[in-house]
Amino acid sequence: MYLTKKHLSRRTVLRGMGVTMALPFLEAMAPAGAVFAKTAAGKVRLSAIELVHGSAGATAIGLQKNLWSPAAVGKSFDLAPTSLSSLEPWRDHVTIVSNTDVRNAEAFETPEIGGDHFRSSAVFLTQAHPRQTKGSNVHAGTSLDQFYAQKFGQETAIPSMQLCIEAVDQAGGCSYGYSCVYTDTISWSAPNQPLPMIRDPRFAFDQLFGVGSTPEERRERRREDRSILDSITTAAGRLRNTLGAVDRVRLAAYLDEVREVERRILLVEAQNNTGSERDLPGAPAGVPDSFSEHVKLMFDLQALAFAGDTTRVFSFKLGRDASSRSYPESGTKTAFHPGSHHGEREDRILDFAKINAYHVSMVPYFMEKLRNTPDGESNLLDNTLIIFGSPMGNANVHNHKRCPLFLAGHAGGALKGGLHLKAPDGTPMANVFLTLMHDLGLTEVEKFGDSTGKFDLNSVRETTL
């Protein structure tokens, strides 16, 4: 544990045997924290979440019934008919951007026709058209999250982390002549460098909170049923004695949250190691069979990492293209991919909208975690940008028009929230991403993907450069 003479450094950590744990923002860090809280560029946390298979709202019927984006543009929008209805309590923190296209996910040449599911994920955060190859010569673009991590993530222990919910361990070629890597990740540190994604909450937890420990030490700790916090009890006690009342409460709450997430992971592992039949046979022991529990664990890990400034950048892949997973909690038993191919039938489109609504309903859990976590003079939700969207529009015909997209959080003041913005026909989603990059401090990026200009995210009218 390292202390300065006048105040705690923002980089203060608790050290134990094989454990290095960052701390949440404390009042004792105020001299550094005042700057931290007021400086958006380089300090905003970023979580980019991909939804595969587009939305029911991108269909003709979906547009008529406002199944994704609300009818009204501006502030007086009604979310009740939409798949975003669960965001109603959070509307002041949400910016909906509708009617943008992801042209670089389309087929450019005849051999690419039909391969939309196997290239789209590579386009989402890069907005670049992937090279059709089953070999190792893959090529897409540097993704938005990695531009941010490369400039501002170097100050943290982990520049960025990539998470996913479904298996991404397929190697070699997938269908239509595309390498599986295009389907398996949304983060690219360079056009030819896709980044692997973590599915197992246990592995993510150990990466975030077990820095410095060996795999053997981690296994021994689990065999002895010891918490990762047991290693830092003495250091935490010494620190607690130097803190004021508010900071002691804040530190205790943070450590309790870490312990609770660890406990839930242990319960999942214990259940999955009983030998009982699993809904997800072959999944790692740390992966819950329940989609909602899996997603919530991943959101909890992100919130804790943001609180401790262990990393400021996450990408999160909620599903894998062509997945046939079903979501009983959504109100339909229809499998995801078959449900997206609804044949333009109204009853099946409405059924698919239930899946969309279920996926969106996971986000308020994350937003509440962030809002309840102090961060300088504000909270994490005010200092976070959540991007939630898809590179596909109407999956029934594999198009990439009217793609779903909304932003949550205030991004350190860059986003006012409480708006539905409808882009003019033909507007690239890349325009929105270029604007966000500039808002995050990446002003040196002049063009991103097929961007044609910037997009005003705080008023109803679009502006272009």
pLDDT in tens, the chain (465 residues): 444 434 688 778 898 877 888 899 888 886 544 544 444 334 899 999 999 999 999 999 999 999 999 999 999 999 999 999 999 999 999 999 999 999 999 999 999 999 999 999 999 999 999 999 999 999 999 999 999 999 999 989 999 999 999 987 655 668 899 999 999 999 999 999 999 999 999 999 999 987 555 666 656 656 555 788 988 999 999 999 999 999 999 999 999 999 999 999 999 999 999 999 999 988 999 999 999 999 999 999 999 999 999 999 999 999 999 999 999 999 999 999 999 999 999 999 999 999 999 999 999 999 999 999 999 889 999 999 999 999 999 999 999 999 999 999 999 999 999 999 999 999 999 999 999 999 999 999 999 999 999 999 998 754 333
Domain count, the chain: 2
C-alpha closest to that of 354 among 14, 5, 67:
67
In DSSP terms, 20 is beta-bridged to 15
One domain, residues 20 and 167: no
- One domain for residues 316 and 423: yes
Q: Vertex 260, ends 256 and 263: CA angle to 5°?
A: 140
386 and 249 inside one domain: no
Q: Are 110 and 434 in contact (CB under 8 A)?
A: no
75 is a domain residue? yes
**Any domain includes 150:** yes
Dist. CA 199–CA 412, nearest whole Å: 29
Grouping H, G, I as helix, E, B as strand and the rest as coil, residue 259 is: helix
Residue 452 tokens read as 């044609």
Q: CB neighbours (10 Å) of residue 446?
A: 9
In a domain, 454, yes or no: no
Examine the domain organization and report whether 389 and 293 are in the same domain. Answer: yes
- Rounded Cα distance, 440 and 45, in Å: 9
In a domain, 209, yes or no: no
Give the DSSP letter string of 184-234.
Answer: H-S-EEETTEE---B--HHHHHHHHH-TT--HHHHHHHHHTT--GGGGGHH
Same domain, 420 and 402: yes
Q: Residue 366 sits in a domain of what CATH number?
A: 3.40.720
User: Is the domain of 254 the same as that of 400?
Assistant: no
**Last residue within a domain, chosen from 257, 283, 309:** 283
| Residue 462, domain member (yes or no) | no
The pLDDT score that the predictor gives to residue 18 is 74
Structural domain contains residue 2: yes
Residue 16 and residue 61 share a domain = no
Looking at residue 385, its pLDDT comes to: 98
Residue 463 lies in a domain: no
Q: Considering 227, 261, 283, which residue would you say is the last residue of a domain?
A: 283
Residue 447, both tokens: 């063009």
Same domain, 147 and 124: yes
How far is C-alpha 323 from the geometric centre of its chain's CA atoms?
19
Does 62 share its domain with 163? Answer: yes
Domain assignment of residue 339, given as a range: 42-199+287-439
Of 259, 283, 307, the one marking the end of a domain is 283
DSSP H helical ranges for 273-389: 291-307, 336-340, 346-360, 363-371
> Are 142 and 54 part of one and the same domain?
yes
Yes or no: say if 48 and 316 are a contact pair by the CB < 8 Å rule: yes
**295 and 272 in a common domain:** no
- Quick one: 195 and 323 in the same domain? yes
- Classify residue 185: in a domain, yes or no: yes
* Confidence (pLDDT) at 42: 46
